[in-house]
Amino acid sequence: MKTWVKVVIGLLAVGFVGAAALVGGIYYWVSKNKDTLIAETREAVEAGKTYGASHKKDECIEYSLTKLGDCGGFNLICETKNKMFLQTCLGSSAPQANFCDGIPKMSEIIATAQWTVQQCAKRGRINDQPCTRLMQAVTAHCRAMK
């Protein structure tokens, strides 16, 4: 067997073992932490309902952005809980005139990405990926309302 074939087979084997270890590690972590994750997500949903019942939709966004700052760097779990808070806050808050104006259609993927970036920039969060991920909750809410 040629040397380059052995190298390719070796690299594929290492890649496969690495991917299996990653999947196994994620599975282990989730199984150990699922109860906590579920409880924290339920708390975020309840908090969103409560906050939204007495605040405007814009206030839900501003509060969620403030909480997003508490997530630190790359913390998808914190971001996800915050996004759940925002989704339920928007859903339980009173209708707000013109709130959904300018939201692109679901089929307009590039326009939606641009809209989220613009909304974050308006709020002083330029090139802020967690903010753009959070703003996806706004687009989902407005699309569901149509």
pTM: 0.80
* Model confidence pLDDT, tens digit, residues 57-116: 999 999 999 998 888 777 888 999 999 999 999 999 998 999 999 999 989 999 999 999
Residue 56 — φ and ψ, nearest 5°?
Answer: -80, 160
* Residue 74 token pair: 């790359």
Domain boundaries in the chain? 34-145
CB 133 within 8 A of CB 83: yes
Q: Give just the sign of the alpha carbon dihedral 69, 73, 74, 75.
A: negative
Tell me: the pLDDT tens digits for 34-57?
A: 888 889 889 999 999 999 999 999
